[in-house]
Structure 1
Amino acid sequence: MSTAIEPRLTSLAHGGGCGCKLAPAVLQDILRGMPLAGPFADLMVGTETSDDAAVWRLNDQQALVATTDFFMPVVDDPFDFGRIAATNAISDVFAMGATPILALALVGMPVGVLSTDTIGRILQGGASVCAAAGIPVAGGHSIDSVEPIYGLVALGLVHPDRVLTNRGARPGDVLILTKALGVGVLSAAFKAGRLDVAGYAALIGSTTRLNTVGARLGEQAGVHAVTDVTGFGLLGHALEMARGAGLTVELTAAPPRLDGVAALLADGVRTGASARNWAGYGAAVDLPAGLEASTRDLLTDPQTSGGLLIAVS
């Protein structure tokens, strides 16, 4: 079924991509009364350090990695929205050093507002990414919702001795970031009708590139910790890595920017999530005197389907 006129996907959502995440301070307040996962002998990674996925030891040779991620549209093209959401969800499996094996679709759509053709294209986009990752979409769940929501449950396997977490960094490690920053800025510009063709290409190119290198990092000597940089921005996820290891992190290099981001920042394009991120964890960050406000805003910019942050000796 199709409808004659459909609204833009982004017009149906109050936020988009990983910028939809609850603000760090709000999430912390909500979870304050939640008990930890508990003393399960085979639960290797739970909720203690805000890691990218849960890990359950199956036997001496295999551990199961389980994660879920979903959000509202960051672009209007339904196929691209599906691709971005699926890439983002599978990234958490790669961030644990695991190989993905299976996905389940999570679908919430305003039926009657969006056509079944459009909703189908979203799912097809997600399925295309899963196919590229070598995994099936083996099922899922759907609801009728006011705003369009799509994502995946993603499962993976890893050797128990090769699990990578966000808490293993060691003093003197170097941090490597595998994707440039600025997805939130580009997304905000797109929603405001201010993103040019080159900027859109940069947005799609970054957010649909799978972090497949993560599956091989557990085999590499000297790799101590990994996380993916998403809704809390580079500063927020680096802070989680530092806290997990009981260390501090020093960022000295200029943050890499996606094409077009510098000009948009100079024109005042920002996301509300960037300010919420800084409000949530800024008190734990020491900024050098004279740092440009645009640089701080880039460091807190929410990254939908961002790169891996790797601590390596």
Structure 2
Amino acid sequence: MTKVIIPEIADAQTDHYLTKKGYEVLTVKNPTEASILATAPDVAGIMMFVAPFPNSLYAKLPNLKVLARYGVGYDSIDAEYAASQGVWVTNTPGANAVSVAESAITDILLLAKQSVTIAAKMQANDTTGAKTIMGHELNGATVGIIGYGNIGQALAKMLSGFGVNVLLYNRTHRETEYGKYVDLETLLTESDYVSVNIAAVPATEHLIGEAELKLMKPSAYLVNLARGSIVDEAALISALKNHEIAGAALDVFDVEPLPRDSEFFQLDNVFLTPHTGANTVEAGRNMAMGAARMIDEVLSGKMPEWPVNSPKLS
């Protein structure tokens, strides 16, 4: 029986889809190098969260045919190297778009209304202090969206009901009625809120660095629900400490979980969440089912619907 490894939660989210398809399903909490090798070195398919999959691991997994990402980003896997080893890498485009876009809206509103600061003061029994904090209406503001894939498109559509001016930056143009394409400099200079929703690839590493942050208004906010590598963390910490921008909401980081000694924890103008922007029941089901289908398609000898590489098959 063909062995596959999937996260425990995904097995429940798919109602044991792969077991019903006739596979020997082995579950782990999180498919890491150690847990994969300890569970089944003869595995044929693995559903991956975001743990790194080192290139040295392929030689230890001789039967491996597919790495199916539970989600959209696949920066933790060298997809081209996987292709050279005859291994498909797939993802689940659009599966979490609504959930992540809603999280971006949530973060923008929390920043605009100063909700976290107000709630903290009330929790500390400083109601008077809480009442002195004034937020802003989102109506009339300019929101810049960096990256116009499934998540960026969902975000722009949602924002259309708030009466905002939406600016878009993307490496390729897609027809849209929900915003205006501009260059990155214009987006950063004119936006009151900047939402990072672009894919993490070599070309986007530190796309937002010191120079880009200096283009932003002192009253502007940065929201990142994409990947930590896209924003230069040291430059962002400096900008936040020196109030070069008003604040940020961050769901992703260079190192995850975010180390407790990170300077982000010392700042009062940043809202932090632990890579949970897509954590909804609906997105979880979509990602798990999409990844399970990709494993089945590859191991059934079919072309997967959502490949991100093109393996050299013998």
Query: In which range does the TM-score fall when normalised by the shorter chain?
Result: under 0.3
Q: Which has the higher contact order (CA 8 A, sep 6+)?
A: 1
Structure 1 length normalisation: TM-score?
0.26
Of structures 1 and 2, the larger Rg is shown by 2
